[in-house]
Structure 1
């Protein structure tokens, strides 16, 4: 009894101490029921979140701006804009490159002209262009401004000439659009594929319709009315702004190293420099139906149309608005746009139903992940999700799930030029586990997904289900032709045929190379016969020519595939010259001429292979060998063609 009383007293004493400690500890910031409306609470949240965010992702500095109900709740800087000078980020003064958030300004300009009746979003864009013509690749299916705004024009992706090596080499974005029209690789309106070219082309339309240089239009119709005095689209910033531009960094081992940022030629798609307060003005204007204080940059109807869901790769995933794109987190619809340069990573997010949003920018590569984590933390803090659970996998479904197995790759890539070789598509292998889950292997990392409804899969561990849902789209024949990631509406991951996968092409190259190397036996056997005075069976002249032609083709392709192509990939200066200079470098052009030469000789070898069997040039084993060599020549040319390794693909 005494021991029981003592135990009870001890427990009570411990509980009392814990209670006293809890009461004495500073109260943790709790979210307002009205979202981010209390400045002190909002500042406390960001003070607790952003510094940890910077440390986790090795980012020197960041600036944020938070808006609620049309009011600026917070602007604040964290960390350093310049490590070497120990310059802190000053939210009111420090400038950041906002990357592709620039596109929202271009799309706002387009919507202004549309609401004024000066352009029609559904008219052939060629009708507005004065000196550029988009090819009629799909007759009767022209590219329109609505396609450009939803990234559904069907253009391949290309980064050639979209940036300059120095300010002295920046050309006009009109010249860029005229001279770098990307291939149309799918009919417009089919699926989305993010296109910097499409946005830049829209700025050319703005110029051609208004007769005003885009930079002037942007200033007079958007920046000046909103009082965005610390915002510029110029690649070469005026001195008073350049002095406040944050330094960009790349994390190299133990520390961040300063590096130059991208100099975009495609200014209307990615070159705006701005401050957090200026971006808050732009965000507020969009949040409040196109108006900020006494300035109106969009009519309420135009703003609603711009923010509305316009296109989706699948009804079950986030879609494209007219410029913005959707995210769904914790059951809330958000319209967002990210921005990425070589060193800066930014995000603008608006929760329309809550009239809340924020802008954030970081000055190092880790900002790409940091902004996504900040958005999730913001939503979890102010708009938490309802409790949910993931269904248990069903092992009996494994056989049915095989329909989704295969190799997939992003459709935001190059298809028709040498650039495809420089930036090969990242492949995702989808397999089925015996437990009835899908395993997605991307870059050596495997993620497991469980089916929640037919064709919809959620990550089994870690993260929000809304962020980690993938949805497979069914083609007309019932097969899965691509899958979408729930909150990545700007592209899809299309199924890659087995014969076009990187693994198959690499194996094909190796096998063909081994076969072609056997042509070296021909001169060796001839030398052996001569050395030992072995009489060689007489063969006609065409048979000798046949071997010379096939042998030469084999040596040319072996040199090209196993010597020159690896050399090209290793030549950083050569690749840089290809990406930035107007004409392809001569060494590259010369190397990519070899497959053309080999093609002529291979065609001749095919003819000789047929003649060899008809005229019985050699013994049967020798004829079989010649035929196999010819097939290997064709295989290696197939490999070269798959990677666009031809001079006419430059």
Structure 2
């Protein structure tokens, strides 16, 4: 028999064993549930990446996803170097992250704000010694304006980019002193994305810290965040960075790296692994492994809305901007050379990701990955318009002054690339019943909008919102609920509207008509015999004029679309030659037209036709001059 004491010991032993078995059996279940969720995430993301990369002909990509302080997925896809069959390694292969660099630049500036070496509301000219920003307005330009892209700086390409890599970054003071654009609209009015603005932020950090900006970022960001496989800028011979590709005629073509002269705005190259560390610091409010790069309040300010033109529109924080599909998602895209990137956070779920890839695709892969990742975690990406009520027709407002064509505010207003900024237009027309009709290059923006508040309009079909704004100078703006850096469009001024709305259509429309008439006349002449000398030469001059005008139009398109400075330079030489030939054709046509009129050898219809042809030629020269092609 077992004694009472022995029986109690036996029961205790049995209980211990049972508890131990139960505990041990529970551990694999919890771990399996977690792995199962991650496996499902991996499966969804892998399927999307593989399919989309194949569809879009993307050579290589890198991705990291962070959840609850842990990296839950880190993956490389495809090739970093196709010729040498070098696969993308998320721990080692660097990708150029483009304007995602601006988030790190903003953090560097806010570190100096915390140290009271910079102030967010101080006129930046107070910190500058080598040069001053030309600001004709009474509103001072501040660091806050620069960080939220509300500086009002004009757009400029000179000094932004070079096709020649250098061993060390070109000093910011040198670039900004030579190329710093002026302020062309009152600071703090609207968002206009500016690379020079963030270059100036980097220079302000230099002025405050006494360190070159590249060295500052390495010591105060890369090192504490253990971003050991991240470089501030690419130098010649750098082999750790993925090659960049374009896909042409069924082949991948290696494209050379360019040099970002405004380097705080977009020069960094990094790995998915290192960007995972950065993501963790962002989701942990400035802390990584007990190392603090920002105070908690400042870390929140980076992603918290600091500016918006209207409360229902997405806006900017100090570095991030709000995702227009869900303003609770701070994000930032990056594009440089052939590289496309995105950094995105959803702090409410302690979730974020970084993606970058090395082949041009117009951002299609980037725009779709957020649906896969956030969809897996149940994060909504639909525009919520439930809080916006459509007002009844009696509450209409007079917005007829806003009627007209609008183009992106971030555009060049001088130089041969002026045509780029005039290419994509949005036309709006107010109706008497309080609605607004919109015609745009983007079909999701086009449609009928109803009044939903003070200068706020909403498309009831898809929830797209538009806001109309007039600044202190009386300029009209159209704000579209889309990616924040591209949300602001400005109305064409009277000269621009005349040139784009009347001169351009007339010039090239008449040239097409004259070209077709010339073809018809060519075959009719064969049947009816030769004309007299004056009529024949007038017709030749008119035909030459139409062909030259159309060729000039093709050259304008080439200047607008090409990314090669050398090719653009050759096209501009051709533009000059063609313009001279147009002038010669105009003089010839006018001489022979006068002769035919004098000898009464031309009908009034023919006289009108040749006059319109000459006006078209003159208009072509005027339009080319308007586009700064000479």
1:483 maps onto 2:472 in alignment: no
Q: Deviations over 1:390-441 (max 9, x none)?
A: 99xx9x97x989957632211110124443146544212346999x884533
User: 1-side partners of 2:128 and 2:36: how far apart?
Assistant: 46
Q: Is the 8 A contact 1:456 1:470 kept in 2?
A: yes
Aligned to 2:272: 276
Q: 1:376 to 1:124 in 2, by over 3 A?
A: same
Aligned to 1:85: 84
Gaps of 5+ in 2: 1-30, 513-532, 535-544, 584-611
Q: Is the 8 A contact 1:53 1:374 kept in 2?
A: no
Q: Is the 8 A contact 1:134 1:181 kept in 2?
A: yes
> Which 10-residue stretch deviates more, 57-66 or 79-88?
79-88
Aligned to 1:211: 210
Counterparts of 1:66-215 in structure 2, within 5 Å, are 66-136=65-135, 138-168=136-166, 171-215=170-214
User: 1-side partners of 2:367 and 2:489: how far apart?
Assistant: 21
User: 2-side partners of 1:574 and 1:491: how far apart?
Assistant: 25
Count matched residues.
Answer: 544
Aligned to 1:620: none
1:292 maps onto 2:264 in alignment: no
Q: 1:302 to 1:390 in 2, by over 3 A?
A: closer
TM-score using structure 1 length: 0.70
1:372 maps onto 2:367 in alignment: yes
Shift of 1:287: 1.4
Q: Is the 8 A contact 1:421 1:645 kept in 2?
A: no
Q: 1:356 to 1:497 in 2, by over 3 A?
A: same
User: 1-side partners of 2:487 and 2:36: how far apart?
Assistant: 35
What SS does the corresponding residue of 1:167 show, helix, strand or coil? coil
> Which 10-residue stretch deviates more, 333-342 or 306-315?
306-315
User: 1-side partners of 2:256 and 2:382: how far apart?
Assistant: 45
User: 2-side partners of 1:564 and 1:629: how far apart?
Assistant: 15
Aligned to 2:458: 457
Q: Deviations over 1:576-623 (max 9, x none)?
A: 55899xxx999869959x99xx9xxxxxxxxxxxxxxxxxxxxxxxxx
TM-score using structure 2 length: 0.72
Shift of 1:376: 2.2
Q: 1:277 to 1:571 in 2, by over 3 A?
A: closer
What SS does the corresponding residue of 2:73 show, helix, strand or coil? strand
Aligned to 1:313: 309
Q: 1:453 to 1:443 in 2, by over 3 A?
A: closer
Aligned to 1:419: 417
Residue in structure 2 matching 1:323, options 319, 323, 326: 319
Q: Is the 8 A contact 1:311 1:319 kept in 2?
A: yes
Q: 1:579 to 1:315 in 2, by over 3 A?
A: farther
Aligned to 2:517: none
Aligned to 2:299: 303
Q: Deviations over 1:65-114 (max 9, x none)?
A: 11112222221112222233332221111111101101111111100000
What SS does the corresponding residue of 2:363 show, helix, strand or coil? helix
Q: Is the 8 A contact 1:390 1:452 kept in 2?
A: no
Counterparts of 1:315-394 in structure 2, within 5 Å, are 315-329=311-325, 333-366=328-361, 368-385=363-380
Shift of 1:193: 0.7
User: 1-side partners of 2:229 and 2:562: how far apart?
Assistant: 38
Aligned to 1:235: 234
Q: 1:186 to 1:431 in 2, by over 3 A?
A: same
Shift of 1:314: 2.3
Gaps of 5+ in 1: 1-31, 515-526, 529-556, 599-627
Shift of 1:500: 4.5
Q: Is the 8 A contact 1:310 1:320 kept in 2?
A: yes
User: Superposition RMSD on alpha carbons, in Å?
Assistant: 5.0
Aligned to 1:537: none
Q: 1:437 to 1:572 in 2, by over 3 A?
A: closer
